[in-house]
Structure 1
Amino acid sequence: MLVLASQSPRRRELLHRIGVAHEIMSAGVDETPAHAESAETYVQRITLAKGMTVQQLAPTRAILAADTCVVVNGNILGKPEDEAHALHMLLQLSATTHEVHTGVALLYNGKQDYRLSSSKVRFCPISEAQARRYWATGEPADKAGAYAVQGRGALFVEHISGSYSGIMGLPLYETGQLLAKAGLLTV
């Protein structure tokens, strides 16, 4: 059975949607971006670090790892530390187009296979009052960029170009390709 190196309920739900049986193992890694690190390099580094951390706990198992980051004006937005941080992020995203990068990796049989999904999301203008009300729902607390495209955060989304599941945190096309290549999924 596949091991998902994530506690994300969204990633678990997405794997269930495509019929992939899996179990969960936590992968606590430092997700601080390195100085001048590009978003693409950052998400690859964190994804592989999560996978390798779990691989040490289950060395004979196939490990699926993923990480998502939101980028606006060249700045990587992680998960908000508190309400003030979330409000700052949401107001940065207001009336702009930002990028969402999700890396997904499969580690199995001594191999590492990695894919990147990149999408663009355009937000409508968001007032500070709207951002505060959204924070009060609890939804943005553990989400990259302080929003969930599959939840109430969708009310801010004017346009998406790219992978909806990738924006949620697990790009299903890329994940399916990795699992099929390894013989773990028939597409």
Structure 2
Amino acid sequence: MRSVILASESPRRRELMNISGIPFSCASPKIEEHLDLSNGIEEGVMKLAKEKAEAVYESHGGYLVIGADTIVVIGDEILGKPKDSEDARRMLRLLSGKTHKVITGVALVNQEVHETFYEVTDVTFCELSDQEIDDYIKSREHYDKAGSYAIQGKGMMFVKRIEGDYANVVGLPMCHLVHELKKYVEE
């Protein structure tokens, strides 16, 4: 396969791409992230993913660029990355004992391709004690994670059940992404 560019510096997304075996490089999108919910949550994450991909494509033309954005949704509330430890604590209390959705919007962009899609995974947490939450916050793993947890790290101990794509919760829906990439990237 020809190389693609991942419009992200996320170590988790890089790891998923490495596992896929698809040759890629990374470039950080230089945009101000704003989630536009005027057309719904799914449309909003796909739009933001597309903005990231387009920003990288403008400076790295000629390559297929992958943009992605992941959010956590519980009820009507969107949980992005925590502002601080108190915000992370609030989010984890909110997720405790409940099922939430992890939604990742993905965009594939180059001169000919402008495709977007999204993936939804349901994640159910067990009941968390204040001590478990405090210990997790002390690990600092919550930092820079939508919903304040990392399913691939210590946060996996909070997960009672998952329905859908595990990799989507990590940050890229790899099954769907690889299927779509096969349409555009030559062997």
Using a 3 Å threshold, how does the CA distance of structure 1 residues 122 and 51 change in structure 2: closer, same or farther? same
Q: Judge conservation of contact 2:68–2:106 (CA < 8 Å) in 1.
A: yes
Q: Pick from 148, 151, 154: which aligns with 1:152? A: 154
Larger displacement relative to structure 2 (157-166 or 171-180): 171-180
CA distance in 2 between counterparts of 1:155 and 1:29 reads: 34
Q: Pick from 81, 84, 93: which aligns with 1:82? A: 84
What RMSD in Å do the two structures reach over aligned CA positions?
Answer: 1.4
Normalized against structure 1, the TM-score is what?
0.93
Using a 3 Å threshold, how does the CA distance of structure 1 residues 32 and 87 change in structure 2: closer, same or farther? farther
Identity of aligned residues (%): 36
1:92 — aligned with what?
Answer: 94
Q: Judge conservation of contact 1:39–1:69 (CA < 8 Å) in 2.
A: no
Using a 3 Å threshold, how does the CA distance of structure 1 residues 49 and 148 change in structure 2: closer, same or farther? same
Matched to 1:180, the amino acid is K
Q: Pick from 59, 64, 67: which aligns with 1:65? A: 67
Larger displacement relative to structure 2 (129-138 or 160-169): 129-138
Once the two structures are superposed, residues 135-157 of structure 1 have per-residue CA deviations (whole angstroms, 9 ceiling, x without a partner) of 11111101000001111000000
* Ranges in structure 1 where 5+ consecutive residues have no aligned partner: none
Once the two structures are superposed, residues 21-58 of structure 1 have per-residue CA deviations (whole angstroms, 9 ceiling, x without a partner) of 11110013333334666321221111011001101111
Larger displacement relative to structure 2 (68-77 or 25-34): 25-34
Larger displacement relative to structure 2 (155-164 or 110-119): 110-119
Q: Judge conservation of contact 1:54–1:63 (CA < 8 Å) in 2.
A: yes
Q: Secondary structure at the match of 1:149?
A: coil
Q: How many residues align?
A: 185
1:173 aligns to 2:175 (yes or no) = yes
Q: Judge conservation of contact 1:72–1:98 (CA < 8 Å) in 2.
A: yes
Using a 3 Å threshold, how does the CA distance of structure 1 residues 35 and 115 change in structure 2: closer, same or farther? closer
1:183 — aligned with what?
Answer: 185
CA distance in 2 between counterparts of 1:71 and 1:141 reads: 18
2:53 — aligned with what?
Answer: 51
2:24 — aligned with what?
Answer: 22
Q: Secondary structure at the match of 1:91?
A: helix
Q: Pick from 119, 131, 134: which aligns with 1:132? A: 134
Q: Judge conservation of contact 1:104–1:174 (CA < 8 Å) in 2.
A: no
Normalized against structure 2, the TM-score is what?
0.93
CA distance in 2 between counterparts of 1:183 and 1:16 reads: 16
Using a 3 Å threshold, how does the CA distance of structure 1 residues 178 and 141 change in structure 2: closer, same or farther? same
2:103 — aligned with what?
Answer: 101
2:14 — aligned with what?
Answer: 12
Q: CA deviation at 1:79?
A: 0.3
CA distance in 2 between counterparts of 1:36 and 1:108 reads: 26
